[in-house]
Amino acid sequence: MAAAGFLLAPQPAAADTPWLDVSEDRYASFSVPAAYVQEHVGQVSQVVVEGNFGPSAAWAEFGLTRRGDVWSGVLGPLKPGLYQYQVTGDDTKSLKDPTNATGVASEPLWSTFLVPGASAGRLADVPQGTGGDVAPLTYRTRQGERTALVWTPPGYPAKSAERYPVLYLRSGDGAAATDWLDLGRAKQIFDNLSAEGAMEPMLVVLGDGSGAADDNDLTDLRKAVADSYRVHRDPAHQAVAGVAEGGTQALRAALTGPARFGYVGSFSGLPTGNVSLENAKAANRNLRLLRLYTGNVTDPAYNATYRLTKELRRSGVRFEFDGVNPDGGGNWTTWQENLVDFVPRLFREVSEHGPSAGHRPLTGEFVPPPAGTTPTPFVTRDGFVTFETTTDHPEAEHVTVWANIAPGGSWLRVPLSRQGDRWRATVGPLDPWFYYYRFIVDRVAVKDVSNPTRVTSEPMWSTFLVPGKEARLLSDVPAGQGGEVTSLTYRSTVANQDRTALVWTPPGYDPDRAQPYPVLYLQHGSGQSYTDWVEMGRAKQILDHQFLDGDLVPMVVVMGNGNVPNFNQELLGNIMPAARARYHISTDPAQQAIAGLSMGGGHAFGVLKAYPGEFAYVAAFSAGFGSGTGVDAAAINDGTKLLRLYVGDRTDFVYPSFMASLSTLDSLGIRYEFDGVTPGPHGWDVWQKNLIDLAPRLFKR
């Protein structure tokens, strides 16, 4: 993101200093020593943290910034839940965080961390000594010796000869039994459900998944469990469930062959083919529960689950469907929720058989347009976005889409998959809002040339809008109802060249009316230009809507070019005289306002200090006040009707200097309003919201 501000300079991280810190308000701060990266993977030009940070807990890359001896970045606030990550340089050089003792047995470079919260309560550890136990079980199969893991409930083994029901929980193809512990948090889920009395006392056997051959393995495992533990052997006291291929295996156990299980759950499992009439009758006769689960359209099993539900209805097989999880894909975050829903239904009578709260019907398959048939991105009404490259990258090895899709509008890179001669990915759901993106092809930024939108100051960017109530002010008003944006050419004596400003005039603008219009001078940030408030800030759309809503005093908004060494001189000597000559605007300080983002906010503060009272309304977005030396606080207070300040959250890198500015203003006795932290980084999501808040406050005091 190109914008001015005060860069933080983190102290070099010691070898044993944690690379990750998670705050109580759920921000993850990463600090990776550059020396460690170079020592272990060599010199790199970029470092990212890869993890399940994306929408629907999709795998995504969070880019770190090199500041001194540290690669660092702050991401959040994260939703409560379990996250896994690894550090990667230059797309392929990955390493584990050596300061994080957690691990994932099947992925040696991964570490994990838990973000606590009410919605993740069942993923937390129970008090020591109060949970169940997990022990390995080695058994023989036709393919050789294998190992499963067995969770036994608190109190097992009891002194009585009581036998326990058993759940066989399968991993996906190529995954490991340990994934249920490392990524699924299965032990914590069972421990918490057990402590709540929300599940029947049972054994849970965690096994890996190796495709269709695993059906025989499951038979061998059941025999080994029966030989080693006090469990019921009849189908009514046995359950099987699994994720992905493990879910497919569970479906085969339910719908083919003799009845072996009374309870079956499929978490993102795939269809097993047509169900014969004989097998359908056997399933209905023997199954006490067949429950299906799927994530949203980003889950590879979404369409397959739709086809499966149709087949089961056609065959007359009784089943339950948990509904589409609207915010989860085919991953462990979703499957944790599936497990929490499924286990309390086992070996007991339950009264609720419908979908989980908030889950949606599955009414059809998701089929984005065929490759090359539509400008990208393709946006569905519920916020799923399909990105697609052209055919220009046949030799590419690593392609991502970089966009403001992280919490608060921070930036993530989502990997694209090769599909024929293109690269594609579906991401979402995204909240209604304005988004911008570019492709990164083998670490080189590439414009989506299929998208006609453009950003003058950042030629590689493209934009799109996800419509919805929350994004109404960023959408276009009906044709002919909005204001006009015109170009104003002026001579810059500071830059010694002709320059351009963009000027918004309100609907019905009358250059001959008796009263001149109040005027807002709205400034951009560093690395940007006069076009950005229109192309990226959606200033026209915001002002159009607020005017039509009756929230805005009719005003003229001048967006000038602030890229000069002396902005005060440029503004007062060049931009303002040109605007006054062309537009019917007031010269009365009480009818003049100045605001800006980042560097532009610094410009607004500079004008306030040098010319107190010239602008009755002053606002700064993500900018620091700077030194108070020589500031005439009394003149500022006397001449300013509104001084309103804005900043993003701790992902906004000017946040520390901004908060220090508040102390400076307080010590000087300058009156101001602080809007409070705007959730989001040093980026347009924050600044759009700042303008939305500011504009209706102008010229009303």
pLDDT in tens, 172-204: 887 889 999 999 999 999 999 999 999 999 999
**pLDDT of the residue at 214:** 58
Q: Work out the burial of residue 621: count CB atoms within 10 Å of its CB; fewer than 13 is exposed, 13-18 middle, 19 or more buried.
A: buried
Find where tokens 């000869």 sit.
161
Per-residue pLDDT tens digits for 100-119: 999 999 999 999 999 999 99
**Residue 463 in contact with residue 436, Cβ under 8 Å?**
yes
Please state the rounded mean pLDDT for residues 250-266. Answer: 90
Per-residue pLDDT tens digits for 544-582: 999 999 999 999 999 999 999 999 999 999 999 999 999
**pLDDT of the residue at 157:** 84
Phi/psi of residue 153, nearest 5 degrees: -75, 160
Q: What span, in angstroms and rounded, lies between the C-alpha atoms of 424 and 500?
A: 39
Q: What span, in angstroms and rounded, lies between the C-alpha atoms of 452 and 105?
A: 46
Share of the chain above pLDDT 90, in %: 89
**pLDDT confidence of 638, banded at 50, 70, 90?**
very high
**pLDDT of the residue at 305:** 96
**Residue 148 in contact with residue 177, Cβ under 8 Å?**
yes
The residues with which 673 forms a beta bridge, in sequence order, are 644
Comparing 71-75, 256-260, 413-417, 665-669, the range with the smallest average pLDDT is 256-260
Please state the rounded mean pLDDT for residues 264-276. Answer: 89
**pLDDT of the residue at 411:** 97
Q: Is the pLDDT at 13 greater than 50, yes or no?
A: no
**pLDDT confidence of 274, banded at 50, 70, 90?**
confident
Per-residue pLDDT tens digits for 364-389: 999 999 988 888 899 999 999 999 99
**pLDDT confidence of 4, banded at 50, 70, 90?**
very low
Phi/psi of residue 101, nearest 5 degrees: -75, -15
Which long-range contacts link 306-309 to residues 24+ away (Cβ below 8 Å)? 306/362, 306/364, 306/365, 307/271, 307/365, 308/251, 308/269, 308/270, 308/271, 309/362
**Domains defined for the chain, CATH in brackets:** 20-116 (2.60.40.10), 125-345 (3.40.50.1820), 378-467 (2.60.40.10), 474-697 (3.40.50.1820)
Sequence letter at residue 206: L
Nearest to 85 by CA among 116, 46, 47: 47
Q: Is the pLDDT at 543 greater than 50, yes or no?
A: yes
Q: Is the pLDDT at 14 greater than 50, yes or no?
A: no
**pLDDT of the residue at 2:** 36
**Residue 559 in contact with residue 524, Cβ under 8 Å?**
yes
**pLDDT of the residue at 448:** 96
Share of the chain above pLDDT 70, in %: 96
Please state the rounded mean pLDDT for residues 8-27. Answer: 73
**pLDDT confidence of 7, banded at 50, 70, 90?**
very low
Q: Work out the burial of residue 357: count CB atoms within 10 Å of its CB; fewer than 13 is exposed, 13-18 middle, 19 or more buried.
A: exposed
Q: What span, in angstroms and rounded, lies between the C-alpha atoms of 299 and 291?
A: 17
Q: What span, in angstroms and rounded, lies between the C-alpha atoms of 527 and 524?
A: 9
Between 260 and 259, the higher pLDDT residue = 260
Please state the rounded mean pLDDT for residues 428-456. Answer: 97
**pLDDT of the residue at 256:** 86
**Residue 75 in contact with residue 30, Cβ under 8 Å?**
yes
Please state the rounded mean pLDDT for residues 629-636. Answer: 97
Q: What span, in angstroms and rounded, lies between the C-alpha atoms of 108 and 528?
A: 42
The residues with which 164 forms a beta bridge, in sequence order, are 231
Please state the rounded mean pLDDT for residues 510-523. Answer: 97
**pLDDT of the residue at 453:** 96
Q: Is the pLDDT at 516 greater than 50, yes or no?
A: yes
**pLDDT of the residue at 5:** 33
Q: What span, in angstroms and rounded, lies between the C-alpha atoms of 291 and 3?
A: 51
**DSSP 8-state code for residue 276:** P
Q: Is the pLDDT at 159 greater than 90, yes or no?
A: no
DSSP for 139-207 reads EEETTEEEEEEEEE-TTPSPSS---B-EEEEEEEET--TTHHHHTT-HHHHHHHHHHHT-S-S-EEEEE
Please state the rounded mean pLDDT for residues 613-622. Answer: 98
- Averaged pLDDT of the chain: 94
pTM score of the predicted model = 0.93
**pLDDT of the residue at 11:** 40
Nearest to 532 by CA among 392, 399, 671, 683: 683
Please state the rounded mean pLDDT for residues 21-27. Answer: 96
